[in-house]
Amino acid sequence: MQVTIDKNSGYCFGVEFAIKMAEDEMENKEPLYCLGDIVHNDMEVKRLSEKGLVVIDREQLQELSNCKVLIRAHGEPPETYKLAIENNIELIDASCPVVLKLQNRIKNSFDKEDNIYIYGKHGHAEVIGLLGQTNNKAVVFQDISELDIPNLPKNITLYSQTTKSTDKFYEINEILRENGITVNTNDTICRQVSNRDKELRKFAEKFDKIVFVSGTKSSNGKVLYNVCKEKNPNTHFVSNADQIESDWFVLGNSVGICGATSTPLWLMEQVRERILTF
């Protein structure tokens, strides 16, 4: 069989940067905590935990002092930095530059007393950090149907979580404007992530079978898997090489392997090697 790994799949810049920072810090052989999973991929989290990275939640952070804590690519709200100063915690800040730029823009809008609306996933780590820039006063919505459009302010400032769909974002803009709302639009979507769906549509069409590799916790993974499945019904979702089944393939098949922005290249390579044993 011919098995090809998608050259555009795998870590986005922000995740790659965070993992490199974690690995560099762990070379010092000192304890390193990470606030939340560094990436939504169980296999990568397991690999890094075996190297010494300890994942903690916000409650556990409250109990720590005199230690090092990694801030992952999603970024954090201001109160995390305030707590770190109070508890003498050294923050290893791996916040994605795209996310930091967005946080600053939202903070500036909040200081100007704008009516801030954020298109994003409720409870997502990045969104928590964005909300923190507004003292949790901004309105977050996952779908336009959540908004009571007739009662919205006549002037709003609109932002988006960096990983949302650009098409959907501009569709929301259009609906709001059609309803007489003046929208100060801030397109802060990361193109490295948002363009993945277009690239994957082209990739999925080229092969007899597609194996999509992603962690089950990855929102990005679920979306991109469905993109592949839509273009190629012979698409299979796996989180690791052991989940691959030989009866998915027949001799002579062309197989494409791709993944989410949280899927490491080494994991896709393991999947490729497994398929080549059939």
- Residue 255 to residue 257: CA distance in whole angstroms: 7
- Strand order of the β-sheet with 116-119 is 139-141, 116-119, 155-160, 182-185
Q: Is the pLDDT of residue 178 over 90?
A: yes
Give the chain's mean pLDDT: 94
Assess whether 126 carries a catalytic annotation: yes
27, 126, 230, 245: the catalytic one is: 126
Reading the block at residue 62, the tokens are: 């409250």
pLDDT for 197: 86
**pLDDT class for 213, splitting at 50, 70, 90?**
very high
pLDDT for 28: 84
Alpha carbon 123 to its chain centroid, in Å, reads 13
Q: How many CB atoms within 10 Å of residue 167?
A: 11
Would the CA dihedral through 9, 222, 224, 232 be positive or negative?
Answer: positive
Tens digits of per-residue pLDDT, 90-142? 999 999 999 999 999 999 999 999 999 999 999 999 999 999 999 999 999 99
Q: Is the pLDDT of residue 220 over 90?
A: no
Q: Is the pLDDT of residue 218 over 90?
A: no
Domains annotated on the chain, with CATH: 2-9+194-275 (3.40.1010.20), 13-97 (3.40.50.11270), 103-189 (3.40.1010.20)
**pLDDT class for 30, splitting at 50, 70, 90?**
confident
